Amino acid sequence: MKEPTGYWTFYCNPKRWYIDDFIRSGETEDTFSVSDFHRNYFKEGQFGVIRVGRDKRTLKELAGRNRLQSGVYAIVEILGEPKLMKSTKKGYWAEESDGDKEKYRVPIRYVKTLLDNPVLLEELDLPADAYDQHLVRGQQASTMPLNPLTFHTIIDLIGGYETISLLEKDTLPGEFALDEVILEGAKKHVTVNAYERNPLARKRCLDHYGYNCTVCDFNFYEVYGDIGKDFIHVHHLTELSSIGEEYKVDPIKDLRPVCPNCHAMLHRRKPAYGIEELRGMVK
């Protein structure tokens, strides 16, 4: 089995489940059946893409709808772990009885839909390290782990992290309200906070840099065990004054993982200290 990556490809057959109707309905929450051998690897806070293969609907089945081209039609967020259940939605199944089958289904939220401008597989030009053959060539499965770099490349293609509508959360995994305190009084407090708190930009940064503090190398998992797993703050490097209207966060260039102590120290001065600068001060 391909190793889980925390990102998923969901395979959608439009002949059995009318994804075009679902997206047009404006509904955002659903469940998606998962491959049995993957079901223990789905966790809240992961992400995935909905991939449509060949649309083999007959003209009668299409009933005026456009035939879909093979591609990625949505970005989804995983909301929890899979449960053995029937589909919770009616009206999108070609055969209603398909939805009535008890299967392991994972709760998902559509955070961006691409019905009118899908990422077409034949036009998807992936660099070698971001090439995911299961996404591109397809698979006889409900789900497949997705190469994180492929996922991030797709996000870049569809306009970047700012265009994904994630629900506001009070706290994110690996974060708490300290940011509110340390950024208090900062002119663009809310804006900067948003970059440091955007879950997708955070993930991209942490996929790249890992979960050790960039300043002091502290790792919460090593010290606190399980409760410290994946816990870290993310600091935004770009100076507030240089952020214009057109600014787009580049999670690798602009963000760094830092522990809450170092994060607080970085913000002891306005503008904030640099990472190297603070590293030089640590005794």
- Interface ranges with Zn ion (CB under 5 A): 213, 215-216, 218, 235, 259, 262
Give the shortest CB-267-to-Zn ion separation in angstroms: 6
Give the shortest CB-183-to-Zn ion separation in angstroms: 7
Give the shortest CB-178-to-Zn ion separation in angstroms: 10
Helices (H), the chain: 19-25, 59-62, 96-99, 133-137, 148-157, 178-182, 189-197, 199-209, 220-224, 251-254, 260-266, 275-281
Give the shortest CB-246-to-Zn ion separation in angstroms: 22
Measured from the CB atom, the residue of 78 and 215 that comes closer to Zn ion is 215
Cis, peptide link before residue 271, omega less than 30° from 0:
yes
SS3 2: coil
Measured from the CB atom, the residue of 110 and 218 that comes closer to Zn ion is 218
Measured from the CB atom, the residue of 76 and 182 that comes closer to Zn ion is 182
Measured from the CB atom, the residue of 215 and 249 that comes closer to Zn ion is 215
Distance CA 154, CA 53 (A): 17
Radius of gyration, alpha carbons of the chain: 21
Distance CA 93, CA 54 (A): 17
Measured from the CB atom, the residue of 12 and 215 that comes closer to Zn ion is 215
Give the shortest CB-111-to-Zn ion separation in angstroms: 24
Pairing assessment for the beta strands 47-52 and 7-12 based on DSSP bridges: parallel
Measured from the CB atom, the residue of 205 and 262 that comes closer to Zn ion is 262
Among residues 261, 257, 283, 269, the alpha carbon closest in space to that of 204 is found at 257
Distance CA 11, CA 175 (A): 32
DSSP 272: P
Measured from the CB atom, the residue of 36 and 277 that comes closer to Zn ion is 277
Angle at 6 between CA 68 and CA 214, to 5 degrees: 130
Give the shortest CB-258-to-Zn ion separation in angstroms: 6
Give the shortest CB-250-to-Zn ion separation in angstroms: 16
